[in-house]
Amino acid sequence: MKTASKALSAMTMVKEALEKAHKYQEDYHIFNFINDVDAIKKAAEIDEKIKNDETVGRLAGVPYALKDNFLSPEGGTTASAHILEEFTSPVTSTVVAKLEAEGAIMIGRTNLDAFAHGSSTENSYYGPTKNSKDLERVAGGSSGGSAVAVALDIVPFATGSDTGGSIRQPAAFNGVYGLKPTYGALSRYGVVAMGSSTDCMGFFTRDPEDLDLLMEITAGQDPKDLTTLPDFYGQNHEFDDPIKKIGIIRDFDNDAVDSEVRAALARKVEELRAAGHEIVELDMPALKYALAAYYIIVPAEVASNLSRHDGIRYAFRSADSNTLSELYENTRNEGFMPENKRRIMIGNFVLSSGFYDAYYLKAAKARTLIIDEYNKAFEKCDLILAPVSPNPAFKLGEKVNDPVAMYLEDVMSVPLNLAGLPGLAIPVGETKDGLSLGLQLVGPRRSDQSIIRFAKQMCCDQPHEDHHADLSGVSTVEGGEE
């Protein structure tokens, strides 16, 4: 990740990123907003500091893309939803504030499924983002725009949010690295809430090395988010021992998984075994409850979080209303996408009198079983290697009208969110049709840096295309290299 210097100006890097953003926008529909004016202004300010030998941050002049559910005043924050179309945030999210304090420059806000509800970025009010390898296929979701912005080399990194796979799945679909940190590692403050007990902020990069720096900068306790953990990134030596045992989940190896995904997993397992790692096969039967539990717990939280959008406090308000009741009803009917309404209805149903015990309480108990199952698994292995999704990127329109088929895309990603575990999507090649394939590395809570280190080791241990970012001039976490 190149930073600004006297030899390479911030203006040069930002103008190049903006040029690429405009170049790819029409075909791929990556951005909801391109930040031309403010980005150029900030680049000029950084160059002036460098010229005057003033101190600049560790990300000085680095252009990045911001998922459009992170609040900041630049460009408004829509979450790709009609109901927030005219909303301009009065606050800046903690993650954005930390990145920009180090000199990073936001060049655009990326498209997503409205309110992050989806696995394909087809549920956006502004239309779908296209896959970086095939314009007829989905980018994945909900952070599809961010994944494609990095995959097409518009920016070296982009932010994402992961509530049930929304960083890892689009990363796998576009051949980039996508990190979902431990729940609470990064602040949720200033990000449009989806599922408050599962939302995680994270990043896309083309190189695991860059993730180390981004986590060092953004991880840590935030008084504005009481779910954040005490600082542990780069300080927790519990996971410093070499990773020897890699777990493989037997329950994920079945005919419901695409043959090329299974083959990619088998190849990676053999590479790890040849490198001297012990492969441990795991039986984790409680994971079969994960998808059902997730689509009870998260819609319940969605229904609560979206109740604030009533046509009174935020941007969009229906004009065709004569009473307060009509205002609420019409605003929400016009402002929400069909998937938003579906999740609100599911959430209100499972929380309603007479159904709470039958659905929500059972889902909460299943969540505890899943957490226990992972704890037992990590007594047998150091990390787990698994598919991110049962399929490579599917065609646009193929599943958008079949909610069950779309939800099944999350079957391998949602268990981590329920358990609060870190997961890193890693690229592992392509299908015979040239589509990207990805797997995920999963570790115990707070093992984020160990996962990134192991991904760096895997990256160095095998031949690959020289498409990684240049980290010259950028500090790394002490002891973070192997």
Just list the catalytic residues.
Answer: 67, 142, 166
Q: What is the dihedral of CA 443, 410, 166, 442, to 10 degrees?
A: 10
Structure tokens at 298: 């998260």
DSSP state of 354: T
Q: Are 395 and 309 in contact (CB under 8 A)?
A: no
DSSP state of 83: G
Q: Are 161 and 69 in contact (CB under 8 A)?
A: yes
Could you tell me where the beta strands, DSSP code E, fall in 57-96?
63-67
Taking CA atoms, 373 is separated from 21, 182, 387, 439, in Å, by 44, 17, 18, 20
Could you tell me where the beta strands, DSSP code E, fall in 250-393?
278-282, 383-387
Structure tokens at 133: 């390898």
Residue 273 CB coordination number (10 Å): 12
In DSSP notation, 253-277 reads -STTS-HHHHHHHHHHHHHHHHTTP
Structure tokens at 167: 């960083």
List all residues 6 or more positions away from 397 whose beta carbon is below 8 Å from its beta carbon.
Answer: 122
